[in-house]
């Protein structure tokens, strides 16, 4: 709980007394910032309060801006450039390392979703701060780590990523959000796999391939891939079909330390958290049963 | 004006008729996206509408996150690293090139403010889109252009920038906002100049310098600089005292073209817009009188 | 899901075709409203979207404005005017009758809280609509029903009530909200009972009574009431100590109907919902165990 | 400017010192409210901050809910019930008397718009407070003043009004908003006048009258009224064609007072503000030229 002090005026002696009594940094800082600048300072009051509703999951999703053009400009492999996907995950890893209150991230194509635990107080839950810090760190990481994944490709221009905050009240809502993104990954990847098979191996123009696939169902696309190109879609790599999940796993490690008393080396088990990437289904229950701690964060309410 | 179609169901023939009549891509796209994914799609409705109020100036300000640490880690010159400042302006230049509806940008220290014209429809004026695209492009540009400004310094980690949107109804509010940031630049730069003179040349510890300057007015700091270190603050570089303003200037150029009729070369004047950096006062009226087009955008209302 | 049609232009014949095919009122209405008024209609876009987050409890609380003055002007009995309390509950009853998606209301002093079920679509969950309709119906009901509760007191002026919307993601949050209001009822009622005993029976001035109670705990106030005025606070009426809860109870009624086949009268059990007022504790579990259907609404998610 | 005190802990003596020094009610109140209730008090943090952007016009519009049904139930005269219109204006008068920072109100049909001056600090510009207080006072006034306007009609049930806040940055936006509402008044009143002439005098059914008017322009409706019913629409009462504007006029009054020195009666001119209703055009410039003080409020910026 907090209260608001208005129009406090005091002399230096009074200030000394109050700060001694209360050790109250807020008051000191308040006095200290009463500067010449104050004439213009009213403009601060035009800023909005934008804290997320408490007791809700906070998701920040980033999306590459105009990544079709970016992929073409840098000659990304079609339909999927695995190096591009791995670079995305490298950036997400950076973000999760920075924001320790994220429990999970999910990425596919040119997007990544980051899940903050319900009770997070990161940036006082302020939307602007959360989405801009995540999006900007993701983008700067993309340029920073580019040479590791594309050692022979010159980065032509810096990319940008838009970001948004969405909040979800219940665990079921959160799961449905992630299922939505993973279903989207599947739908798009199946389409793209069929499309590029028709173009690259089937010799169709882009337009012709589009027409061929228009109105087809998943089963039709599977059939086209199998009968015309010998591709069993189910055997495609999981990273393409499922996208990538980043989680913090608890790793038990044997480490050797020096015993306090005996001064002898001894072996102990230490648990530390490590961010790990997996490419599995998260729509069914199995994933959530195997990682019960993901939804089990203890909230304030 | 727009209207919203709900629960439209039709067969392919009906769809053909309507799309022929209306050439309405929205309907086609709507039908096309009715996919298996729909079970989870309800989660989209948890997203907020966050358009900025029409007929207001939109400012996006980005701020370096933990830039004290960043400056120390990369051994930035104190109190000001001119290369660091120039890199910031290079990034801002990228942002203004990308967002053609920005009329002005102002930067100082580790922050930059970008001013969209009142009537901009960029990203439908959506706050999230505006602030995340600006912040992420700024951040990725920082890494991208780093080697040009610090050819001999290895970038140790990718920086992040927070961003926010503030909107201002009147031209006076906008000017006061910019004056607030420039006054802040002046206040901080004078303090830092005096502080680092005391430390670097005066031999004081950081703590001693802080105590020495505590409670002093501008005049006192000017006096310390002049009498103790022979520094005339007024003669410090404008880039440090005023920060940097980026504007689009109209440049009249003589170009030679081929005349349609005579097929002879002829010289014509072509006006094109060019982003230019200046380091001058924007608090007084002079700047605004000299650049009348800045506030003279024609709004929808 | 919905999609948005923009810049649709068609002639009457085309319109006939599309409306016949689609039976699409939205399009018809759209065309019909393209009127002379359109020059000014852009001002509509300054309105905010303010839907409440889905899958959350929505509470609307109304509070009497300046009710101290109102109570004095109309000579309300101190510390509690039971007719005034009953009038408040009569108004709340009106509100719950109008808004069938409210599951519960809780009132004390000059305030009433109304709880909409989580999945309500009333007014498309728009905050403004919800709070103004509730507050205005409450206020007009107050004047309308006044003569039933104060037959001999002339209403001097129409009162106003402020309103607000608060949303809660979890059942526990909802219970804590209601507990907060009921604890507030208890604290204030104990204070007021002691205060007015000191003034009315103890002969203290308002100022003296205030000083006497300053800094006292509940136990102190109970002791004052018992030892000085012979009042056992625990035996005060529940309506004052607990406030009032309005719920919809299912009432099984024996009704006589005419049998379809035999044309004979027969007796059947009919369940109908009836709004009922109770004055009991809602902080403990008992209340919620006894009314399991309150939290058991089936949401969309 | 304000600052926020957090985690203040002090004993009674310290509290005395600080309150003596600062006469700071906020702190006192803070300490006083640290009660047993605190366990549940976290639920307060779920409330939104909803202050209107500074330096903008704030409009609150109220609309009768289901007033077609209300008008039928109380046998309102068609197409316009002048007593009903006057009752609306009586309610608006109450609202303007209560909210002294409103400069203007405009009403037509079952709606009223209230304009707060740009710099108003009423309720700290909080949307919820503004709209609910206005809507609830309007609604309670409607019931309160009903007998003055409908002495022989029993009010069957209390009506409700929805309310909303819309904010406008510029004077032009404000004027366009009011023009929009007045144009709407004109369009609806012309339609209704023609419709009820066809039904009441022309003997058409409601359905037939609707069909007859479907697709007609203003000129057609004027012609129908004139040629078939001898009604010159331009001569209809202004209150119906233009709606009602409420303003505060400055009234110079001759009053007789007793002279301080001579103790003789003397006559002086006193200016006081009086709310006045006019029924004139506000779309053109004339109205604004004649009431220059309406837009001439001196803002903080």
Window 179-218 of B: residues touching A by CB (8 A cutoff) are 179-180, 183-184, 187, 218
Residue A27 pLDDT > 50: no
Residues contacting residue B29 through CB under 8 Å, at least 6 positions apart: C3
Question: Mind telling me how many Å the CA of C61 is from chain B's nearest CA?
Answer: 23
Cβ–Cβ of A301/C53 closer than 8 Å?
no
Neighbours of C99 (CB within 10 A): 19
Cβ–Cβ of D10/A18 closer than 8 Å?
no
Residues contacting residue C217 through CB under 8 Å, at least 6 positions apart: none
Of residues D300 and A116, more confidence is placed in A116
Q: Is residue C40 part of a domain?
A: no
Contact, C59 vs C166, CB < 8 A?
yes
Q: Is residue A169 part of a domain?
A: yes
Read off the pLDDT of each residue in C114-127 and give the average, rounded to a whole number: 96
* Closest to A143 in 3D by CA, of A200, A105, A94: A94
Q: Is residue D268 part of a domain?
A: no
Q: Give the pair of three-digit tokens for residue C172.
A: 């526990």
Cβ–Cβ of B128/A159 closer than 8 Å?
no
Cβ–Cβ of D136/C141 closer than 8 Å?
no
Q: Is residue B273 part of a domain?
A: no
Q: Following DSSP, what letter does each residue of A191-206 receive, concatenated?
A: HHHHHHIIIIIT---H
Please check whether residue B157 touches A, CB under 8 A.
yes
Q: Give the pair of three-digit tokens for residue C209.
A: 């009574």
| pLDDT reported for residue B298 | 43
d(CA B28, CA B16): 9
Please check whether residue A172 touches C, CB under 8 A.
yes
In chain C, which residue's Cα lies nearest the Cα of B37? C1
Residue A40 pLDDT > 90: yes
| pLDDT reported for residue A271 | 84
Cβ–Cβ of B4/C6 closer than 8 Å?
no
Q: Dump pLDDT digits (tens) for B112-161.
A: 999 999 999 999 999 999 999 999 999 999 999 999 999 999 999 999 99
Please check whether residue B137 touches A, CB under 8 A.
yes
| pLDDT reported for residue B87 | 98
Write down the mean pLDDT value for chain A: 88
Q: Is residue B253 part of a domain?
A: no
Least confident of A239-253, C105-119, C147-161: A239-253
Q: Residue for token digits 């009038």?
A: C87
Per-residue pLDDT of chain D (301 residues; tens, 9 = 90+): 222 333 344 445 454 444 444 444 444 333 334 444 678 999 999 999 999 999 999 999 999 999 999 999 999 999 999 999 999 999 999 999 999 999 999 999 999 999 999 999 999 999 999 999 999 999 999 999 999 999 999 999 999 999 999 999 999 999 999 999 999 999 999 999 999 999 999 999 999 999 999 989 999 999 999 999 999 999 999 999 999 999 998 788 888 888 888 889 988 888 888 999 999 999 999 999 999 889 875 433 3
Question: Mind telling me how many Å the CA of A177 is from chain D's nearest CA?
Answer: 23
Please check whether residue C53 touches D, CB under 8 A.
no
Q: Is residue B294 part of a domain?
A: no
Domain range for C110: 57-244
Nearest to A172 among C167, C168, C301 (CB): C301
Least confident of A35-44, A153-162, B143-152, C100-109: A35-44
Q: Give the pair of three-digit tokens for residue B296.
A: 């003279």
Question: Mind telling me how many Å the CA of C262 is from chain D's nearest CA?
Answer: 40
Q: Is residue D300 part of a domain?
A: no
* Closest to C107 in 3D by CA, of C127, C87, C122, C132: C87
Please check whether residue B128 touches A, CB under 8 A.
yes
Nearest to D94 among C41, C158, C215 (CB): C158
Contact, B130 vs B116, CB < 8 A?
yes
d(CA B193, CA B231): 10
Q: Give the pair of three-digit tokens for residue D292.
A: 């220059």
Report the residue of C32, C74, C158 to disrupt the D interface, i.e. the one with the largest count of D CBs within 10 Å.
Answer: C158
Cβ–Cβ of D26/A38 closer than 8 Å?
no
Report the residue of D139, D171, D188, D283 to disrupt the C interface, i.e. the one with the largest count of C CBs within 10 Å.
Answer: D139
Percent share of chain C, pLDDT over 70: 86
Can the peptide bond before residue D79 be classed as cis, meaning omega within 30 degrees of 0? yes
| pLDDT reported for residue A37 | 65
Per DSSP, C51 falls in state: B
Residue C15 pLDDT > 60: no
Please check whether residue A8 touches D, CB under 8 A.
yes
Read off the pLDDT of each residue in C285-299 and give the average, rounded to a whole number: 82
Cβ–Cβ of D173/B56 closer than 8 Å?
no
Please check whether residue D35 touches A, CB under 8 A.
no
Weakly modelled stretches of chain B, pLDDT under 70: 1-37, 297-301
| pLDDT reported for residue A20 | 44
| pLDDT reported for residue B297 | 53
CB-count burial class (<10 Å; 0-12, 13-18, 19+) for A266: exposed
Of residues C300 and C232, more confidence is placed in C232
Residue A6 pLDDT > 70: no
Please check whether residue A12 touches D, CB under 8 A.
no
Read off the pLDDT of each residue in C80-98 and give the average, rounded to a whole number: 97
Three-class SS of chain D: CEEEEECCCCCHHHHHHHHHHHCCHHHHHHHHCCCHHHHCHHHHHHCCCCECCCCCEEEEEEEECCHHHHHHHCCCCCCCCHHHHHHHHHHHHHHHHHCCCEEEEEEECCEEEEEECCCCCHHHHEHHHHHHHHHHHHHHHHHHHHHHHCCCCCCCCCCCEEEEEEEECCHHHHHHHHHHHHHHHHHHHHHHHHHHHHHHHCCCCHHHHHHHHCCCCHHHHHHHHHHHHCCCHHHCCHHHHHCEEEEEEEEEEEEEEECCCCCCEEEEEEEEEEEEEECCCCCCCHHHHHCHHHCCCCCCC
Q: Dump pLDDT digits (tens) for C137-160.
A: 999 999 999 999 999 999 999 999
Q: Is residue D192 part of a domain?
A: yes
Cβ–Cβ of C176/A301 closer than 8 Å?
yes
Cβ–Cβ of C54/B38 closer than 8 Å?
no
- Predicted confidence band at A28 (pLDDT cuts at 50, 70, 90)? very low
| pLDDT reported for residue A24 | 39
Q: Cβ contacts (< 8 Å) between D42 and chain C: which residues? A: 176
| pLDDT reported for residue C296 | 72
Least confident of A62-76, C247-261, D185-199: C247-261
The structural domain count of chain C equals 1
| pLDDT reported for residue D251 | 82
Q: Give the pair of three-digit tokens for residue B248.
A: 């689009």
Q: Dump pLDDT digits (tens) for C268-279.
A: 888 888 999 999
Residue A166 pLDDT > 70: yes
Please check whether residue C22 touches B, CB under 8 A.
yes
CATH number where D84 lies: 3.30.70.3000
């Amino acid at each position: 709980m907090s209260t608001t002090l208005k129009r406090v005026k005091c002399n230096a002696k009074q200030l000394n007394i109050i700060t001694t009594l209360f050790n109250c940094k807020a008051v000191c800082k308040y006095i200290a910032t009463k500067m010449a600048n104050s004439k213009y300072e009213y403009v601060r009051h035009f800023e909005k309060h934008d804290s997320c509703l408490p007791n809700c999951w906070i998701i920040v999703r980033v999306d590459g801006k105009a990544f079709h053009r970016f992929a073409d400009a840098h000659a990304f492999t079609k339909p999927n450039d695995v190096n591009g996907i791995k670079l995305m995950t490298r950036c997400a890893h950076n973000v999760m390392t920075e924001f320790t209150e994220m429990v999970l991230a999910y990425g596919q194509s040119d997007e990544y979703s980051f899940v903050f635990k319900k009770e997070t107080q990161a940036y006082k839950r302020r939307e602007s701060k959360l989405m801009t810090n995540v999006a900007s760190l993701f983008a700067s990481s993309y340029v920073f780590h580019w040479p590791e994944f594309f050692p022979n490709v010159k980065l032509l221009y810096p990319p940008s990523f838009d970001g948004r905050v969405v909040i979800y009240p219940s665990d079921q809502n959160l799961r449905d959000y992630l299922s939505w993104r993973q279903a989207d990954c599947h739908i798009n990847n199946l389409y793209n796999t069929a499309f590029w098979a028709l173009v690259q191996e089937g010799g169709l123009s882009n337009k012709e391939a589009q027409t061929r696939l228009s109105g087809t169902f998943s089963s039709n696309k599977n059939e086209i891939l199998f009968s015309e190109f010998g591709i069993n879609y189910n055997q495609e790599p999981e990273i393409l079909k499922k996208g990538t999940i980043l989680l913090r796993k608890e790793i038990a490690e044997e480490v050797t330390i020096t015993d306090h008393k005996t001064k002898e080396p001894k072996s102990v088990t230490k648990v530390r958290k490590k961010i790990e990437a997996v490419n599995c289904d998260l729509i069914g229950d199995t994933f959530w049963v195997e990682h019960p701690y993901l939804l089990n964060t203890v909230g304030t309410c």
